[in-house]
Chains A and B, each alone.
Chain A
């Protein structure tokens, strides 16, 4: 029963949403829209579960004085302070909550994102080594794209003897071809496969064949 009820709900709601995709009449579309609104409301309530878990895990760490407990204490103080500021002072522009978000949270996120540039460099260094035929092909394609797409690229190309000066627009044409033909074809292939995979997975779930998301592996 514990498994059957969720499976029946999944089947009914899932196929109703598929029906709503093909039926624009308000009789069906409005109720489907209503269900999506309910989903948003339920998801908002689950945030309480998440925060509860966060508080529980870190409170236990502080209580048992585990390694790094001081950071957990800082986290809980910050969480409490932000919640109190938001609840009692509001979250609009000009409030303390807004100021803290704008001057602490946003710069920290930006700093984290900016690290991506350095990680790209280190990953590219490893990926672009000509270890075999495929890696060599990747290296050549990447080099062409990099020269063709960076602002300095065209200047560099013009100064390559016997090539850049003789064929001034060749680099641009080759870059465009690599991006538009093999790259797009590869992407489309993956997208088609992934879309069919997603449909197949969804159907398995709707038909109750795939139950491992409820427990492990349908054992």
Chain B
């Protein structure tokens, strides 16, 4: 047995490892559209990587402040890489780079490349398309606000979920039971735009609940949402001329633990049997647990969210569902204020523009298979 091992070793020594070539075409440049703390290094693959990919370990990126060194390791790029972003440089400092192609038995280093000086940019050119879209959309909104202020007749389609708000509050009043309003699920904060949209609807619900003298319960998972909800509900009761009926303890904080919050709300549903449940805002896995418990108590349920993954659960378990954009349209729809309705019209035109761009993109990209010059649209929309 020992003999065979010796033979194998001798064979290994007789065929030394292939010499490693350093990667060619090493280039360094200041990373575009950054805060001046990044340098991009590019190269062509080392011939050793193509010849023997099994024993090739990768590329060691070396950085120095002068061409002669000393060089320190700035990072390591795995086999297959031809680019490395060094995000640990200081702006305004001159740097040189070397690349070391490493195998298990050998390595080869390039000549230094550089100098390169990283600088901060004042405008992110890669986001120019977003800026154009933002400005166009803002322009549309301002145009429709102007039109609305000058008496234009603005039609907004019927939204069943929002029309059912009064029906749900009326039903709770007739049954002498409370209304439950969840401004968001167990994980959302006040910085979430969906939560803010939900608080707008809460204002309307509070106003009606105060008019009908129906208790309104608002359990919150975020202390800031609770504070805001208390102010909104209080204001609703004052507007309805019933400040005496306002109960601060009904707008309460439960917990910011997702499923502890869910258990807490389920408990309220089972114990206090609200006749109308509103679940509007950002919801995660707790959506169906809440909606099914509400269904089992026989409450009329209106839900709304822009969370794609939770929408099917709400549609399955609730009487009415506000889908995506509908929760943002609520304030305009419920108040019928011309200025707010104007922004909804702008939103519709924005959608029309997006549909047009999608169709144009599909057409041009399909034609680009035959005529590559027509692929400019996707290149422009998705810059590297």
Asked if chains A and B come from one complex, the reply is yes
Q: Which residues of A contact B (CB under 8 A)?
A: 18, 21-27, 29, 39, 43, 46-51, 53-54, 56-57, 60, 68, 105, 108-109, 112-113, 115-116, 119-120, 122-124, 126-127, 187, 190-194, 196-205, 209-210, 212-219
Of the listed stretches B56-64, B153-161, B253-261, B373-381, name the one at the interface; the rest are far from the partner chain. Answer: B253-261
**A126-B316, A204-B340 known; A190 and B122 CB under 8 Å?**
no
Q: Does B292 lie within 8 Å of A217, measured CB to CB? A: no
Q: Which of B16-24, B170-178, B224-232 lies at the interface?
A: B224-232
Q: Report 5 cross-chain contacts, Cβ distance below 8 Å, ordered by A residue.
A: A50-B222, A50-B256, A120-B288, A191-B324, A216-B204
Q: Contact partner of A24 among B124, B231, B257, CB < 8 A?
A: B124
A65 to chain B, nearest CB (A): 16
Cross-chain contact A49 with B249 (CB below 8 angstroms): no
- B34, B137, B334, B344: the one within 8 Å of A199 (CB): B137
Known A46-B227, A196-B350; judge A54-B257 contact (CB<8 A): no
Question: Is there contact, CB below 8 Å, between A204 and B343?
Answer: yes
Asked whether B110 is an interface residue with its Cβ less than 8 Å from the other chain, the reply is no
B62 CB, nearest partner CB in chain A, Å? 26
Residues in B168-199 with C-beta less than 8 Å from chain A = 189, 191, 193-194, 196-197, 199
Residues of A within 8 A of B36 (CB): 25-26
- Say yes or no: is B39 at the interface (Cβ < 8 Å to chain A): no
Min distance, Cβ A112 to any Cβ of chain B, angstroms: 4
Residues in B with CB closer than 8 Å to A120 are 288, 313
How many angstroms between the C-alpha atoms of A214 and B258 in the bound complex? 26
Q: How far is the CB of A123 from chain B (nearest CB, A)?
A: 4
Cross-interface CB contact of B252 among A57, A194, A197, A205, cutoff 8 Å: A57
User: In the bound complex, do residue A217 and residue B253 qualify as a contact, i.e. CB atoms below 8 Å apart?
Assistant: no
Mark interface residues in B22-36 (1 if CB within 8 Å of A CB, else 0).
000000000001111
Seen from chain B, the residues whose Cβ lies within 8 Å of a Cβ on chain A are 33-36, 91, 120-124, 127, 130-131, 134, 137-138, 141, 145, 189, 191, 193-194, 196-197, 199-200, 203-204, 206-207, 220, 222-224, 226-228, 231-232, 235-236, 239, 249, 252-260, 262-263, 271, 285, 288-289, 291-292, 295, 306, 308, 311, 313, 315-317, 323-329, 331, 334-335, 337, 339-340, 343-344, 346-347, 350-351, 354
User: Cβ of B256: which chain A residues have Cβ within 8 Å of it?
Assistant: 47, 50
**Main SS of chain B's interface residues?**
helix
**Bound CA span A50–B255, Å:** 8
The closest CB in chain A to the CB of B236 belongs to A216
| Least Cβ–Cβ distance between A119 and chain B, in angstroms | 4
> CB-CB < 8 A to A18: which residues of B?
134
Q: How far is the CA of A53 from the CA of B223 in the complex (A)?
A: 9
Let me know if B315 and A127 touch, CB within 8 A.
yes
Q: Given that A24-B35, A123-B292, A217-B203 are known contacts, is A209 also in contact with B145, CB under 8 Å in the complex? A: yes
Q: Are the CB atoms of B252 and A53 closer together than 8 Å?
A: yes
Contacts known (A22-B124, A24-B121, A216-B206); A203 close to B141, Cβ less than 8 A: yes
A46-B224 contact given A109-B258, A216-B206, A218-B337, CB 8 Å threshold: yes
Among B35, B141, B145, B351, contact of A25 (Cβ-Cβ < 8 Å)? B35
Taking the closest CB of chain A, its distance from the CB of B191, in whole angstroms, is: 7
How far, in whole Å, are A196 and B327 apart by their CA atoms in the complex?
12
Q: Bound state CA distance, A187 and B309, in angstroms?
A: 9
**A46: shortest Cβ distance to chain B, in Å?**
4
